[in-house]
Structure 1
Amino acid sequence: MQAEAKQVGSWEEADPEQVHRGILPIASLGPLALNIALVIRFWGQWSVVLGVVGILVGNTLLHVLAIEWTARRFSRAAAESVRTLNNVVGISLAGVLTHWSPLVWAVVPYNMVWFYGMDRWVYPRMAFYLVAMNAVALSTGSSVELALAFDLFGISAFLVSQKRAELLRLMLGNAHRQRVELEKAHQEVQQMHQRALERERLSSLGMLAAGVAHEINNPMSFVTSNVNSMLRDMKDEPHLSELMKEYRDDVLPATLDGIKRVNSIVADLRRFARGDPEAHVAFDFDAEVQTALRIAQGQLGHVRVEKELSGVGTVVGRPRQIVQVLVNLLVNAGQATAPGGLVRVTTNRDSHWIFVQVRDTGSGMSEETKRHLFEPFFTTKPEGQGTGLGLSVVHGIVRSHGGRIEVESELGRGTCFTLRLPLVPPLLEYEPSSDGGMRRRPA
């Protein structure tokens, strides 16, 4: 297959002038052979022999000097017009000199086979060549029968050569299309392979994260239990020093708050890293936003984070996927924002839709970047720091929930992603309830 592609490429990329120079030595063999035959035929008639040789040398020099100069200076079409006129003059002189020997007439159809060029002037050049040859030949003593025979032979040869040229163009066109399709298929295979590698890598990272979270969860359970027991025992102890009272009233409660936060992060990480299929369920949307903020906080430590959660309430969807969407947007916002910048998350709803905005004061994006933003494997991050899959996955998840994602951005002025998600994804038998939750639609 690679050999075929290489061969097709050589046909398509061939320089017309190189093709012409490659054909020229072969095309010159016919006139040379006919001139040798003329010399042999008229051997002893030295004036004729010298004349034929002189015409051959003159035509060759004119071709090398004038015709090739015309091709370089103007175009191959102009050079072919000069060559046609040169052939008319040379053959006419040889015909008059040999009283229109059939060997001279044989050159006429031979030249018609080698009419170069695929420009619009090829047929007019052929017509001029044939009319001029016949006019000179018939006016200088050639027989009509001989002229007609070689004219018909030359026209047939010309039409056959043109047909073969058309077939060759068609074959090259088909080869070019096949090459384009092959390259496209090759790119698609490479993309599929890359996606498979990324999925395998992400799956492995998810399993690793779930394992690490599980290992952390076990000792944290002991720590939580022990601190709770210690705090409970200290509360039951009536006689404590001032230092112990400070531990009982301030230090241990703050420690428990920190432990609860660690446990929440571990639980979020375990749930986020699970790779099993997720069904549509009812869930607290703002709680999942809080989960995403906790998971992404490592990428947001250098910026100020503001959140305005308006109590969206219970919705239906795939909560782990929603967290994945929000984590991607928050991480991108953190990476695009300089230290001291702002990342702001807001949520609100109406009777049918949820609206989520993730806004940052980062570097922003150009119009060209925004046009390709959701394409797979498109990334503006340095090599090795991004796969270009994050926002493509985000777009797919949002679309699968029946929603849409919009982006507003300007270079140097930050970026705002707006998610619009339905309270109930399409085709699900749920509807918003009067208390802000969800209920099954009546049959």
Structure 2
Amino acid sequence: MNAPQDEAGSGLMAQRVRDRLGLFSALGVVCIYFLMVLSIWGQWVSIALLSGTFTFVFVFSIVLELWNSERETRPPRLEVLRLSLEMGAMLIYGKLTSWAVPVWLYLPLNALWSDHSTELRWMRGLLLGQAVVVTAVAVMQGCSILVPLSFILLSLLAQSLLGMRLLLLRHVMDRLSHRHGELARAHADLDRAHERAREQDRLSSLGMLAAGIAHEINNPLSYVKSNVNALYRDLKVRQGQIAPELGEYVDEVLPATLDGIHRIASIVTDLRRFARGEPEPMVEYDLNAEVQVALRMTQGRLHAHCDLEVDLAPELPRMQGRPRQIVQVVINLIVNAAQAMPGHGKIRVSTRQEDGEVLLSVRDTGMGMSPETLSRIFQPFFTTKPLGEGTGMGLAVVHGIVSAHGGRIQVESEPLKGSDFIIRLPRGVPASS
């Protein structure tokens, strides 16, 4: 639950407490009025003055409360005005009734009705000041001090009990708010897990579909490749016997066609290998060759809006690992780099040797990352992409694969200055294998 909801809940709680206390206070005021009238029954002038004062104060308090009904807390100035008016009324009541006991019932009633939802430290002091002034006037007019002292203690007790009740209610509301927040976060986590499951199921289906398509393409492709090869050999053997206009086919058209067929076959082979789901054993592989596989599989996405620069160091040592996973690492880094460039940009893929390690670098000229984003990029399910455009697992998978190969990832990035992912792989077999 967020802060505005917490504040709304606390305000609603305070309003409900005030509504209940308002009803109790109104009934209590009416009862006190009748008790004061009974205490001076027969003194009709005093009863008239008392009734007029009571009616004015009561109506004023009702109007003030209705005006404050939409507010979470009462304005301090109006609260001071109300207490001052109540004090003046008590002085009149006391004078008219010779400080009969019902007059002193206003002290605990005011303590209950005062606004404790606002954390105004002066409120208790104001109530105590009211009691002291009324008590001092009553003693000067001949009232025994024991009576007001008893009701002052009663009002302090009522005020403490109400404060404890409000504190308990606030604690319960905080607990409920915290629990509601936990449930909201759990619900959000379930939604994300559901989206991830759907995404994984879709990726699994796409992998099976890709493997099936690759298999279907491979069969007719093998016939085409065999037939073009046979035609090329026959024309090359009979090059001196064929018509001059067919020489262009032998020298340029058929070699270019065979090269295109080989490229298609390589892409199909890469796709079939990448789509396989069975565990891959640790084998010897050439990092440059796997980078070329990844480039062939992603070139369709790159040519549209970015330039690609490839700088692969010659004579790299052969590595031990899982080639298909290395291809997945390179693909994820290249795709991320392409997505980081909203306009036309440049991606540079390079390999080299350094201090007994083999380095793979994927640098882009995209938007870059802030330090906060940079610190979280390898967290599972963290993504800065819009909803539905990323699962937040790409770089987490890259980190897992590189770690499983005994390597590490170094990232250099600044906002608006692009990013550089540098993967350092050991030349030997990873210790965990």
Please tell me the TM-score bracket, short chain as reference.
Answer: 0.7 to 0.9
Q: What is residue 420 of structure 1 aligned with on the other side? A: 424
The amino acid across from 1:101 in the alignment is: A
Q: What is residue 91 of structure 1 aligned with on the other side? A: 90
Change over 3 Å in CA distance of 1:143–1:238 after alignment to 2: closer
Gaps of 5+ in 2: none
Residues 315-373 of structure 1: CA distance to partner in whole angstroms, max 9, x if unpaired? 23433232222212223434555887532211112234332222234555667765765
Query: Whole-Å Cα distance in 2 between the matches of residues 220 and 210 of structure 1?
Result: 15
- From 286, 289, 314, give the equivalent of 1:287: 289
Query: Which stretch shows the higher mean deviation, 335-344 or 280-289?
Result: 335-344
What secondary structure, in the 3-state scheme, does the structure 1 residue paired with 2:431 have?
coil
Change over 3 Å in CA distance of 1:212–1:135 after alignment to 2: same
The amino acid across from 2:120 in the alignment is: D
1:168 aligns with 2:150: no
What secondary structure, in the 3-state scheme, does the structure 2 residue paired with 1:313 have?
coil
What secondary structure, in the 3-state scheme, does the structure 2 residue paired with 1:14 have?
helix
What secondary structure, in the 3-state scheme, does the structure 2 residue paired with 1:275 have?
coil
Q: What is residue 52 of structure 2 aligned with on the other side? A: 54
Change over 3 Å in CA distance of 1:134–1:288 after alignment to 2: same
Query: Whole-Å Cα distance in 1 between the matches of residues 255 and 145 of structure 2?
Result: 121
What secondary structure, in the 3-state scheme, does the structure 1 residue paired with 2:362 have?
strand
Query: Whole-Å Cα distance in 2 between the matches of residues 397 and 33 of structure 1?
Result: 80
How far 1:282 sits from its partner (Å)?
A: 3.5
Q: Is the 8 A contact 1:403 1:422 kept in 2?
A: no
Q: What is residue 433 of structure 1 aligned with on the other side? A: none
How far 1:237 sits from its partner (Å)?
A: 4.5
Query: Whole-Å Cα distance in 1 between the matches of residues 388 and 64 of structure 2?
Result: 59
Change over 3 Å in CA distance of 1:84–1:209 after alignment to 2: same
Query: Whole-Å Cα distance in 1 between the matches of residues 310 and 214 of structure 2?
Result: 26
Q: What is residue 34 of structure 1 aligned with on the other side? A: 32
Gaps of 5+ in 1: 430-443
Change over 3 Å in CA distance of 1:86–1:349 after alignment to 2: farther
1:324 aligns with 2:335: no
Residues 58-101 of structure 1: CA distance to partner in whole angstroms, max 9, x if unpaired? 324554688999999x9734433333333222223212211222
Query: Whole-Å Cα distance in 1 between the matches of residues 322 and 17 of structure 2?
Result: 63
Q: What is residue 438 of structure 1 aligned with on the other side? A: none
Residues 362-399 of structure 1: CA distance to partner in whole angstroms, max 9, x if unpaired? 55566776576556353346x65555543454445445
Query: Whole-Å Cα distance in 2 between the matches of residues 336 and 45 of structure 1?
Result: 91
The amino acid across from 1:288 in the alignment is: E
For residues 306-325 of structure 1, the aligned pairs below 5 Å read 306-311=309-314, 312-325=316-329
1:82 aligns with 2:84: no
Q: What is residue 353 of structure 1 aligned with on the other side? A: 357
The normalised TM-score by structure 1 is 0.81
1:408 aligns with 2:406: no
Query: Whole-Å Cα distance in 2 between the matches of residues 427 and 59 of structure 1?
Result: 87
Change over 3 Å in CA distance of 1:396–1:212 after alignment to 2: same
Q: Is the 8 A contact 2:346 2:364 kept in 1?
A: yes
Query: Whole-Å Cα distance in 1 between the matches of residues 307 and 192 of structure 2?
Result: 37
How far 1:53 sits from its partner (Å)?
A: 1.7
The amino acid across from 1:30 in the alignment is: G
Q: What is residue 435 of structure 1 aligned with on the other side? A: none
Query: Whole-Å Cα distance in 2 between the matches of residues 370 and 31 of structure 1?
Result: 66
Q: Is the 8 A contact 2:21 2:113 kept in 1?
A: no
The amino acid across from 1:294 in the alignment is: R
Residues 395-422 of structure 1: CA distance to partner in whole angstroms, max 9, x if unpaired? 45445554124142442x5443333344
Question: Identity over the aligned pairs, expressed in percent?
Answer: 40
The amino acid across from 2:219 in the alignment is: N
Query: Which stretch shows the higher mean deviation, 301-310 or 52-61?
Result: 52-61
RMSD value, Cα: 3.6
Q: Is the 8 A contact 2:74 2:115 kept in 1?
A: no
Q: Is the 8 A contact 2:383 2:390 kept in 1?
A: no
Change over 3 Å in CA distance of 1:107–1:301 after alignment to 2: same
The amino acid across from 1:216 in the alignment is: I
Query: Whole-Å Cα distance in 2 between the matches of residues 387 and 428 of structure 1?
Result: 28
Q: Is the 8 A contact 1:346 1:357 kept in 2?
A: yes
The normalised TM-score by structure 2 is 0.82
Query: Whole-Å Cα distance in 2 between the matches of residues 119 and 422 of structure 1?
Result: 67
**Count of matched residue pairs:** 421
Query: Whole-Å Cα distance in 2 between the matches of residues 339 and 9 of structure 1?
Result: 44
The amino acid across from 1:51 in the alignment is: L
Query: Whole-Å Cα distance in 2 between the matches of residues 421 and 133 of structure 1?
Result: 87
Query: Whole-Å Cα distance in 1 between the matches of residues 429 and 90 of structure 2?
Result: 84
How far 1:167 sits from its partner (Å)?
A: 0.8
Change over 3 Å in CA distance of 1:38–1:189 after alignment to 2: same
What secondary structure, in the 3-state scheme, does the structure 2 residue paired with 1:346 have?
strand
Q: What is residue 348 of structure 2 aligned with on the other side? A: 344
Query: Whole-Å Cα distance in 1 between the matches of residues 95 and 163 of structure 2?
Result: 30
- From 300, 303, 319, give the equivalent of 2:302: 300
How far 1:166 sits from its partner (Å)?
A: 1.3
Q: What is residue 121 of structure 2 aligned with on the other side? A: 120
Query: Which stretch shows the higher mean deviation, 299-308 or 74-83?
Result: 74-83
What secondary structure, in the 3-state scheme, does the structure 1 residue paired with 2:12 have?
coil
Q: Is the 8 A contact 2:22 2:113 kept in 1?
A: no
Q: What is residue 441 of structure 1 aligned with on the other side? A: none
Change over 3 Å in CA distance of 1:148–1:235 after alignment to 2: same
Q: Whose relative contact order is higher, 1 or 2, with alpha carbons under 8 Å and at least 6 apart?
A: 2
Residues 273-313 of structure 1: CA distance to partner in whole angstroms, max 9, x if unpaired? 22334454442211111111000010122443221111433
Change over 3 Å in CA distance of 1:341–1:101 after alignment to 2: closer
Q: Is the 8 A contact 2:111 2:156 kept in 1?
A: yes
The amino acid across from 1:218 in the alignment is: N
